[in-house]
Amino acid sequence: MGTIFNEKVIEDFMHMCHDGVRQGWHERNGGNLTYRMREEEVQYCARFFKDTPGEWVKMPVQADNLKGEYFITTGSGKFLENVELEPQNNIAIVEINDAGDSYRIVWGLEDGGKPTSEFPTHFMNHSIRKRVTNGANRVIYHAHTPFIIALTQVLPLRAEVFTRMLWKSATECCVVFPGGVGVVPWMVPGGADIAKATCAEMEKYDAAIWAFHGLFVSGPDFDTAFGLMHTIEKAAQIATYALAANGGRRPIQAITDDNLRAIGKEFGVTLNEDILNYQCDDELYM
């Protein structure tokens, strides 16, 4: 019969965890990943589900459009570097109830535990991204990206400022995230408040920066979501290096707004005009 680990979606999930660890984004038990499963994936994996599912666990959030859905999720307190070694102990498949406000574990976390502490935040943002993308987005990924975290300590916590800085760090960045990136001020992780604040940003953006904490992204598949995370973090790295190399001052030369518009036209993407037209009082932030 084989094992659940032979199912492509499980392999892809494990591979993405490994890729994030390889980038240095997941120290200890940092970061988390969830995936909203397709019906055919659930049907394949169901043969491996527990004979007796776990107890229903009530969440502090609710979503009508996620009733009856199944999610693959990393575990709370689990190290992403161990996912490929022992997936059955570090990840889980959870089922959402008919009220859209509770989950139960149907597979995984065999040595005990529960889904990531930020599952309510993921859950609510899955609801938003499912709605605004007509069901296309299925992946939510959070990582402790060091250069994004560094920039939140020196830039104004505004979507317009961060997006413009990141777009202008390297030529093709605006093609990967033409809508921009949202910014959430520092909040205690894992609760309803940060879930709601992130939802407000994910209504408009594919990605949201968490001040002093990292990056939160969505995508239709693992490759797209990981690529978005990787591109934004690399842009932040370049921006950090450029600022440091010039003594914290504005770079001597930079991609102009007209350059950005030309890139968008050439690649057939529509850049967020609100961000392009944003005027900041401090010229440092371009």
* pLDDT tens by residue, 120-177: 999 999 999 999 999 999 999 999 999 999 999 999 999 999 999 999 999 999 999 9
Q: How confident is the model at residue 281 (pLDDT cuts 50, 70, 90)?
A: low
Buried b (16+ CB within 10 A) or exposed e, 95-111: bbbeebbbbebbbbbee
- Answer whether 143's CB lies under 8 Å from 25's CB: yes
d(CA 248, CA 239): 10
Which DSSP category does 75 fall into? B
Instruction: Give the residue-averaged pLDDT of 247-263.
Output: 88
Predicted confidence (pLDDT) at residue 1 exceeds the cutoff of 50: no
Mind listing the pLDDT tens digit for each residue in 6-30? 789 999 999 999 999 999 999 999 9
Q: What percent of the chain has pLDDT over 90?
A: 87
Please tell me the pTM assigned to this model: 0.93
Sign of CA dihedral 125, 129, 131, 136: negative
Residue 228 CB partners (closer than 8 Å, separation 6+)? 176, 177, 206, 207, 217, 219
**Catalytic option among 118, 160, 201, 233:** 118
- Catalytic status, residue 118: yes
Q: Amino acid letter at 181?
A: V
What residues are paired with 73 via a beta bridge? 34, 92
- What does the buried/exposed string (b/e) look like for 5-26 if buried means 16 or more CB atoms within 10 Å of the residue's CB? eeeebbebbbebbbbbbebebb
Q: Which helix (H) or strand (E) holds 252?
A: none
Q: Are the C-beta atoms of residues 213 and 190 closer than 8 Å to each other?
A: no
